[in-house]
Structure 1
């Protein structure tokens, strides 16, 4: 079961990220799929700012650090960018197992996880929309808990 959410601009992306942040809990793993420039990092920033309840929260890209950790009041969020990894064994050095157990894990370029990909997760595929700023988000939940939470989201964002 997947759910498609269409947004027309960055504001729609931020609204979807906030909806998912509102239902997030420790142990959640969200895998962000999409080509360069599709808005994976923008979605993750909006998600983290929503969890922080602070639209001005500084959220640097983990492109070079590989992971940014946010110890937020409501729940911790670990933002991973695995683009620069060449071997899934390198992921262990990032303490990803700790994130999987105790935090929300937002993971860009999740294909690098290979055999470490958790079974209970939410895959988000981002595709171009009908205008330059629009996006189509395909949410693919794996695990009963994600299915229930995704079912509660509105179908389309304007």
Structure 2
């Protein structure tokens, strides 16, 4: 599924819509260049999960945990994984845990990912514009159903 947003407000709104549909142990992989809108989309997801705390990029902390919503949100950035390994971060515990995992730059831990997930490619359509294209790629039955629900 592909959709286009005209501004950050619409990107947040689609994230929020998806957030309402998520459940514990869902894994979302966000791909996109720096400044593509991965954290903006995650802000919407958090709203859909009932999280009111400000959502910040996890670039320098690797993992930010938000516990105060309907279910926890674990926002991860694997770009700066130079001093840690996926095993040291306990990724498998997060994947099997009580919350939703949103992972940016997942290609750096591709060998450690489960077989099923929802990958969302966020592409900036013009450098000086806020338009984005969101491409949803479902791996597994749960995520195919999730995308089908999002289409409605």
Same fold (TM over 0.5): yes
2:108 is matched with 112
Normalising to structure 1: TM-score of the pair? 0.87
What secondary structure sits across from 2:56 in the alignment? coil
Distance across 1 between alignment mates of 2:102 and 2:15:
11
2:3 is matched with 5
Match of 1:68 among 38, 60, 64: 64
Match of 2:139 among 127, 139, 142: 142
Return 5+ residue gaps in structure 1 as ranges.
Answer: none
Are the counterparts in 2 of residues 69 and 78 from structure 1 also a CA contact under 8 Å? yes
What secondary structure sits across from 2:75 in the alignment? strand
Tell me: higher relative CO, structure 1 or 2? Use CA pairs within 8 A at least 6 residues apart. 1
1:97 is matched with 92
Are the counterparts in 2 of residues 32 and 107 from structure 1 also a CA contact under 8 Å? yes
Are the counterparts in 1 of residues 51 and 69 from structure 2 also a CA contact under 8 Å? no
1:19 is matched with 17
Match of 2:30 among 29, 32, 36: 32
What secondary structure sits across from 2:147 in the alignment? helix
Distance across 1 between alignment mates of 2:93 and 2:72:
11
2:129 is matched with 132
Listed as ranges, the matches of 1:42-81 within 5 Å are 42-54=40-52, 57-81=53-77
Return 5+ residue gaps in structure 2 as ranges.
Answer: none
Distance across 1 between alignment mates of 2:75 and 2:114:
16
Distance across 1 between alignment mates of 2:116 and 2:54:
29
CA RMSD of aligned residues (A): 1.8
Greater than 3 Å deviation, 4+ residue runs: none
Normalising to structure 2: TM-score of the pair? 0.90
Are the counterparts in 2 of residues 8 and 129 from structure 1 also a CA contact under 8 Å? no
